[in-house]
Amino acid sequence: MQTNSSSAPASPHVLIFPLPLQGTVNSMLKLAEILCISDINVTFVVTDHIHSRLLRNSNVVSRFSKYPGFVLQSISDGLPKEHPRGGSRYIEMFESMKLNSKPLLKELLTSGWLDRGRGPVTCIIADGVMSFVCDVANDIGVNIFCTRTLSACSLSIFFSLPKLIEAGELPFTGGDLDTPIKSVPAMEKFLRRRDLPSFCRSDTLSGPSIQLFKNENQENARAQGLILNTFEDIEGPVLENIRAFCPNLYTIGPLHAHLKMKLAAKSCYTASSNSLRKEDRSCMSWLDSQACKSVIYVSFGSIATMTKDQLMEFWCGLVNSECKFLWVIRPDLIAGDGEIPEEVLEGTKERGYIVGWAPQEEVLGHQSVGGFLTHSGWNSTLESVVEGVPMICWPYFMDQQVNSRFVSEVWKLGLDMKDTCDRVIVERMVKDLMVKRKDEFLKSADRMANLAMKSLSEGGSSYSNLERLIQDIKTISVVHKEAKKQQ
């Protein structure tokens, strides 16, 4: 299914294919809009499942209608409608896409459907964990840039997995998660077993996640370059390790703030939504009535789940902290068939506000928000960094375990609560972040926010790397078209 039609003149034409998840679709749509602003035609390919959710809950179609070179295209992931496509079954999605989406993508690229008015696709930008897209690009002779929308610190660990195995640090048995890990460059001083991606907590190497990330990661080196949603000042030392595998690195983040700056420069910034769920904006007026930096925002992203008992620990800890809180409780946050207990809804009225999904970027930018209790997803982390909001981290899986270690130990932007879920600890940490150590955390958060903005300003690292990426896309397009003419 295709949304939007196009009559733009032929210029570079990029096909973007993100991983079908909220965080990746969100950040890749930001990149798509940045490219559109730079007069590059973009075909944004999503799975049918993501497509229908975007149409239902976001303003993507109306927002992009001002870019005639943009097309939103969907293809099947091969899974039945009712498949959850997340949680513990995300591996099934990878497998199905490899089998079913790969031929569809190839057909899309070779059929000529996408060319009308915009010329042929001259390069592809796809998530580097979907190496089948690299195969398609190689088969049809189109250049490909890989992108990874998680942190460089987690990516650096993925690249180091063979080294960890060789050094005997993986797999490990036994319960001592505080054992130091020494084989990841630039992390020797603070990394522990418990900070490794969650799939490393296994006494075998045969698990599907570890295999996926060990093998697919090495494929990134086949691409023209690797695009990362990060900035040099925050992850400089670990980026050096990644450059050893992928020398042509484009660090162009934080993407959401980068887009905001580009739009502001054209005086056309309006708050945008790439939400796959319906946003409840009533929380914005609730925030308007709260004191400056008095509210802790609580959200565990789009995938994480918890038990009803864990939810009660968070709730009691939040209430006992006596701080105001805004809490995103997705309908599917409680694992199994748990419902939000009545006492949580009732007891929250005095001090808190609950929504099913929030306009998060706006919430974090609101003057009443002074802290973020987060699952440490990379998009959430960057959104908090940009707004100078300190964090309490309760990582759920994958890259979140290492992100939370960097937040607390390296960047000093907050506290890491990983592997505990106890009302007393929640209460203590909320009080520490919002009251006792408030000035200390706000100072370092403010410093990091300034570094982020510096990287996006003219001459900054992310600004310059984006210019270089755009230039490279344009050069590739000329070469591609010349080569096609001579065939």
Nearer to ligand UDP, 13 or 258 (CB): 258
Which residue number has the CB closest to ligand UDP? 377
- State in angstroms the smallest separation of the CB of 28 from ligand UDP: 11
Smallest gap from residue 364 Cβ to ligand UDP (A): 8
CA end-to-end span of the chain: 31
Structure tokens that stand for 131 in this block:
């190496």
Give one word for 148, left, alpha or beta, with left for phi > 0 and alpha for psi -120 to 50: beta
Could you tell me which residues come within 8 angstroms of residue 73 by beta carbon, excluding any fewer than 6 positions away? Answer: 1, 2, 3, 43, 44, 45, 46, 108, 114
> Min. distance of Cβ 413 from ligand UDP in angstroms?
15
Minimum CB separation from ligand UDP for residue 274, in Å? 8
Q: Which residue has the tokens 């990661």?
A: 217
Report the amino acid identity of residue 358: A
Q: What's the helix, strand, coil split of the chain in %, to 5?
A: 50, 15, 35
Nearest CB to ligand UDP, comparing residues 172 and 231: 231
Based on CB atoms, which residue is closest to ligand UDP, 110 or 310? 310
Nearest-angstrom CA–CA distance, 275 and 206: 35
Q: At what angle do helices 255-265 and 22-37 cross, to 10 degrees?
A: 30
Q: Pick the closer one to ligand UDP by CB: 122 or 376.
A: 376
Distance between CA atoms of residues 319 and 313, nearest Å: 10
Please tell me the distance from the alpha carbon of residue 418 to that of residue 324, in angstroms, as a whole number: 23
Q: Which is nearer to ligand UDP, 164 or 329 (CB)?
A: 329
Nearer to ligand UDP, 12 or 18 (CB): 18
Applying CB under 6 A, which residues contact ligand UDP?
21-23, 26, 275, 299, 301-303, 328, 357-358, 360-361, 377-380, 383
Phi, psi of 278 (to 5 degrees): -75, 125
Query: Which residue lies nearer to ligand UDP by CB, 137 or 329?
Result: 329
Q: How far is it, in rounded angstroms, from Cα 61 to Cα 259? A: 17
Question: Which CB atom, from 241 or from 302, has the smaller least distance to ligand UDP?
Answer: 302
Distance in angstroms (rounded) separating the CA atoms of residues 401 and 377: 9
Within 13 Å of residue 438, how many CA atoms lie on the same side as its CB?
14
CB of 231 to ligand UDP, least distance (A): 16
Structure-block tokens of residue 116: 């009308």
Least distance (Å) between residue 459 CB and ligand UDP: 27
CB of 381 to ligand UDP, least distance (A): 7
Tokens 């790969």 identify what position?
102
Query: Closest distance between ligand UDP and the C-beta of residue 5, in Å?
Result: 29
Q: Which residues contact 118 (CB under 8 A, 6 or more apart)?
A: 6, 8, 10, 11, 13, 41, 43, 69, 71
58 or 183, CB closer to ligand UDP?
58
Which pair of structure tokens corresponds to residue 448?
Answer: 């990091």
Tell me how far, at minimum, the Cβ of 3 lies from ligand UDP, in Å.
Answer: 21
Q: Is the peptide bond before 197 cis (omega within 30 degrees of 0)?
A: no
